[in-house]
């Protein structure tokens, strides 16, 4: 069971000392922009200009890694399918 941090209880304020009443004029908010919701606009989301050589090298290394990774994944899938077919043939041969 985790330890509880001991915090002193807050003193209760009397009901009369609540928040002061606001006037009607101060309750109305000034015109504000609508809240941001959803994805940002598509325009302006991309970098402009030539990429740096370091960025290009990193991109090439990342693409090479992804290609190798997909190659490994393809080999594993092919091996699993071959084992599945072979096990099906072995089971059929044993059941006859």
Model pLDDT for residues 16-25, shown as the tens digit of each residue: 665 666 666 5
Q: Which of 18-22, 32-36, 87-91 has the highest mean predicted lDDT (pLDDT)?
A: 87-91
* DSSP per-residue string spanning 8-67: PPPPPPPGGGSPPPPPHHHHSPPP-PPPP-SSPPSTT-S--SPPPHHHHHHHHHHHHHHH
Q: How far is the C-alpha of 68 from the C-alpha of 63, rounded, in Å? A: 9
Domain boundaries, the chain: 52-96
Q: Any idea which residue has 């190798």 for tokens? A: 68
Q: How far is the C-alpha of 80 from the C-alpha of 38, rounded, in Å? A: 42
Q: Please indicate, yes or no, whether the overall pTM of this predicted structure exceeds 0.75.
A: no
Tokens standing for residue 33: 């922009």
Least confident of 33-42, 69-78, 83-92: 33-42
């Amino acid at each position: 069971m985790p330890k509880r941090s001991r915090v002193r209880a807050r003193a209760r304020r009397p009901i009369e000392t609540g928040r002061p009443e606001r006037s009607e004029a101060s309750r109305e908010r000034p015109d504000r922009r609508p809240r941001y919701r959803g994805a940002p606009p598509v325009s302006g989301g991309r970098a402009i200009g030539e990429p740096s050589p370091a960025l290009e090298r990193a991109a090439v290394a990342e693409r090479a890694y992804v290609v190798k990774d997909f190659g490994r994944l393809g080999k594993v899938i092919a091996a699993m399918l071959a084992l599945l077919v072979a096990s099906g043939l072995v089971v059929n041969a044993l059941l006859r």
